[in-house]
């Protein structure tokens, strides 16, 4: 589904990603872990086509980045720690705007918007302006926005930032039930610093260290994720 | 298979971005209100500061109009693009399967409408304060073309400066020198029309304005994708 080979990204003379290789299969839910500055967000931004790689090859669903980015964008949904929403528009207007951008057929738009709003528990607030929503509600709306085009791949960039416990628990449910991440129909990559959540939610774990993948494997075979994380991060830092 | 189009139709994107900006402004009234307040205060200061006879007033009012529109417009441009960047919604636009210049034209049309509204209100205000009739059909064409040049150049430069830390300072420093051809030709054409000079006195300025608008719009169309790219 996603194949990354020898990916390098440098800002000026400072390399952030240094020959990163990673292969993610269809339906996998991958937790992308790593210390601050290890390149997690940079990697997601490259996959989303927001940043160009310095060198290396990336293919998503057979399409290469950045040459065939238009085809890749059709398959992507993004949830970030920023909601990427417009505060002065209503929930319905926000989704309607993105439905137009994603060329969702006119006769399907409103049905799909209302179905998604109901799924994320915001059906009753469809006509309310986003700036009146709590942070948790805004993040649920952000998930609805990301799912509007029914993307095959979800990129989740620290989606739990700023959420209280209840809102975070609700987001856990949403990611499984509504977004269907980690199921055969949807692949997801989530950057996070929350090791417990990464362990509980994901099917695979990738640990970034010094711009490369220090560890990649199935979550189910990991006995102690914090220990593995510390070992991977610290071992490579010394060299 | 690889020949099929994955990109949303161009004018649908332009329309969607324009609809979003107008809808947000109708509800929030942040941009036009601040632009109008700034422009009104500026015009009032000019009207009290410049004690001129009738002839000098008619030769000055065109300059006052365009200086005010340019500064108030710059204020609006900064806020328009900064709001997209600060809330991350610019990323959401750029991730969508759309041609990037379509985003530019949507934003530009929104900024054009807001700037034109300010120019219209200022024309009305200057007519009262300077006691000179500015409701001249040909002057409206200058206003339309001048605001179009301002919005196209301004949207492009504001998209560049929005990534900088000191963007509020950087935008006018970058924008105003680039805008000089638009401001000079708009001002000279306006003054010639208001002072009732012959067609051959204002037509070259109008032609220059059309040319400059065309150049800036084509440049923005070609370069916008590179401007918003990291």
The answer to whether the Cβ–Cβ distance between B15 and A100 falls below 8 Å is: yes
Is the per-residue pLDDT at A180 higher than 90? no
Same domain, A140 and A189: no
Residue A234 inside a domain? The answer is: yes
| Cα dihedral sign, A186-A192-A194-A198 | positive
Q: How far apart are CA B57 and CA A197, in angstroms?
A: 70
Residue A80 inside a domain? The answer is: no
Digit-coded pLDDT (tens) for A73-115: 888 999 988 889 999 999 999 999 999 999 999 999 999 999 9
Same domain, A89 and A203: no
Q: Give the distance from residue B230's alpha carbon to the nearest chain A alpha carbon, in angstroms.
A: 5
* Burial per residue of B205-229, b for 16 or more beta-carbon CB atoms within 10 angstroms, e otherwise: bbebbeebbeebbeebbebbeeebe
Domain total in chain A:
2
Region B71-82: what's the mean pLDDT?
Answer: 88
> Within an 8 Å CB–CB cutoff, is residue A27 touching chain B?
no
Is the per-residue pLDDT at B3 higher than 80? no
Q: Write down the pLDDT at residue A166.
A: 81
Tokens in use for A219? 């979550």
| Cα dihedral sign, A186-A192-A197-A199 | positive
Q: Give the distance from residue A83's alpha carbon to the nearest chain B alpha carbon, in angstroms.
A: 7
> Within an 8 Å CB–CB cutoff, is residue B96 touching chain A?
yes
Is the per-residue pLDDT at A4 higher than 60? yes
The answer to whether the Cβ–Cβ distance between A97 and B9 falls below 8 Å is: no
- Pick the closest to residue B151 from B60, B212, B62, B88 (CA basis): B212
Q: How far apart are CA B60 and CA B14, in angstroms?
A: 38
Residue A30 inside a domain? The answer is: yes
Instruction: Please answer whether residues A29 and A182 qualify as being in contact, where contact means their C-beta atoms are separated by less than 8 angstroms.
Output: yes
Region B184-193: what's the mean pLDDT?
Answer: 94
Same domain, A68 and A158: yes
Length of chain B: 230
Same domain, A145 and A130: yes
The answer to whether the Cβ–Cβ distance between A49 and B95 falls below 8 Å is: yes
> Which residue in chain B is spatially nearest to A12 when comparing CA positions?
B230
Q: Residue B81 — very low, low, confident or very high, per pLDDT cuts 50/70/90?
A: confident
Same domain, A188 and A133: no
Interface of B with A in 132-191 (CB under 8 A): none
Residue A201 inside a domain? The answer is: yes
- Pick the closest to residue B72 from B104, B103, B44, B106 (CA basis): B44
User: Which CATH number characterizes residue A209's domain?
Assistant: 3.40.50.300
Q: Write down the pLDDT at residue A238.
A: 44
Distance of CA B90 to the CA centre of its chain: 20
Q: Which residues in chain A are closer than 8 Å to B97, comparing Cβ atoms? A: 70, 73-74, 101-103
Q: Write down the pLDDT at residue B78.
A: 84
Same domain, A25 and A47: yes
- From residue B89, alpha-carbon distances to A79, A85, A126, B85, B148 in Å are 11, 6, 19, 6, 25
Same domain, A158 and A237: yes
The residues, any chain, with a CB within 8 Å of residue B94's CB and separated by 6 or more, are: A49, A50, B100, B103, B228
> Within an 8 Å CB–CB cutoff, is residue B19 touching chain A?
yes
Which of helix, strand or coil describes residue B42? Answer: helix
Residue where a domain stops, chosen among A150, A172, A201: A150
Same domain, A145 and A159: no
Domains in chain B: boundaries? 12-17+25-229
Q: Residue B1 — very low, low, confident or very high, per pLDDT cuts 50/70/90?
A: very low
Which of helix, strand or coil describes residue A76? Answer: strand
Q: Provide the domain limits for residue A19.
A: 1-75+154-239
Residue A99 inside a domain? The answer is: yes
The answer to whether the Cβ–Cβ distance between B92 and A88 falls below 8 Å is: no
Q: Write down the pLDDT at residue A178.
A: 65
Among B13, B24, B230, the residue with its CB nearest the CB of A50 is: B230
Residue A66 inside a domain? The answer is: yes
pTM to 2 decimals?
A: 0.89
> Within an 8 Å CB–CB cutoff, is residue A50 touching chain B?
yes
Q: Judge if the upstream peptide bond of residue A66 is cis by omega within 30 degrees of 0.
A: yes
Q: What percentage of chain A reaches a pLDDT higher than 70? A: 95
Name the residue with tokens 């416990």.
A165
Same domain, A141 and A177: no
Residue A130 inside a domain? The answer is: yes
- Pick the closest to residue B114 from B18, B189, B42, B206 (CA basis): B18
Residue where a domain stops, chosen among A120, A150, A180: A150
Q: What are phi and psi of A65, to 5 degrees?
A: -110, 135
Q: Which residues in chain A are closer than 8 Å to B95, comparing Cβ atoms? A: 48-50, 73, 76, 78
> Which residue in chain A is spatially nearest to B25 when comparing CA positions?
A88
Residue where a domain stops, chosen among A150, A182, A206: A150
Complex prediction ipTM: 0.88
Q: How far apart are CA A144 and CA A155, in angstroms?
A: 13
């Amino acid at each position: 589904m996603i194949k990354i080979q020898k990916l390098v990204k440098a800002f000026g003379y400072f390399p952030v990603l240094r020959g990163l290789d990673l292969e993610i299969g269809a339906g996998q839910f991958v937790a992308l872990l790593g210390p601050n500055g290890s390149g997690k967000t940079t990697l997601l931004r490259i996959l989303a086509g927001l940043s160009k790689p310095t060198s290396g090859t990336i293919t998503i669903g057979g399409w290469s980045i950045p040459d065939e980015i238009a085809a890749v964008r059709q398959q992507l949904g993004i949830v970030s720690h920023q909601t990427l929403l417009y505060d002065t528009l209503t929930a319905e207007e926000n989704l309607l705007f993105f439905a137009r951008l994603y060329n969702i057929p006119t006769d399907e738009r409103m049905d799909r918007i209302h179905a998604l709003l109901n799924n994320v528990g915001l059906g009753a607030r469809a006509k309310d302006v986003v700036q009146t929503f709590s942070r948790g509600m805004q993040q649920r709306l952000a998930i609805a926005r990301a799912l509007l085009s029914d993307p095959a791949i979800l990129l989740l960039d620290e989606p739990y930032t700023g959420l209280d416990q209840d809102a975070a628990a609700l987001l856990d449910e949403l990611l499984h039930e509504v977004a269907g991440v980690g199921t055969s129909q949807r692949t997801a990559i989530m950057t996070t610093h929350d090791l417990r959540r990464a362990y509980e939610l994901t099917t695979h774990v990738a640990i970034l260290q010094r711009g490369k993948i220090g560890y990649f494997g199935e979550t189910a075979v990991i006995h102690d994720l914090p220990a593995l994380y510390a070992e991977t991060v610290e071992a490579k830092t010394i060299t | 298979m690889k020949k099929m189009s994955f990109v949303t139709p161009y004018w649908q994107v332009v329309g969607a971005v324009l609809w979003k900006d107008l809808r947000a402004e109708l509800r929030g009234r942040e941009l036009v209100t601040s632009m109008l307040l700034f422009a009104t205060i500026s015009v009032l200061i000019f009207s009290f500061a410049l004690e001129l006879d009738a002839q000098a007033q008619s030769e000055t009012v065109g300059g006052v109009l365009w200086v005010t529109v340019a500064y108030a417009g710059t204020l609006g441009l900064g806020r328009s693009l900064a709001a997209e960047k600060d809330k991350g919604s610019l990323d959401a636009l750029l991730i969508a399967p759309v041609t990037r210049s379509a985003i530019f034209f949507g934003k530009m049309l929104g900024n054009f409408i807001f700037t034109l509204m300010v120019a219209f209100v200022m024309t009305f205000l200057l007519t009262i304060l300077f006691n000179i009739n500015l409701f001249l059909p040909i002057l409206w064409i200058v206003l339309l073309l001048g605001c179009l040049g301002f919005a196209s150049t301004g949207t492009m430069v504001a998209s560049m400066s929005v990534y900088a830390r000191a963007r509020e300072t950087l935008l006018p420093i970058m924008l105003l020198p680039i805008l000089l051809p638009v401001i000079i030709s708009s001002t000279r054409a306006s003054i010639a029309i208001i002072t009732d000079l012959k067609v051959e006195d204002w037509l070259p300025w109008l032609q220059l304005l059309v040319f400059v608008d065309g150049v800036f719009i084509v440049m923005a169309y070609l370069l916008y994708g590179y401007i918003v790219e990291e």
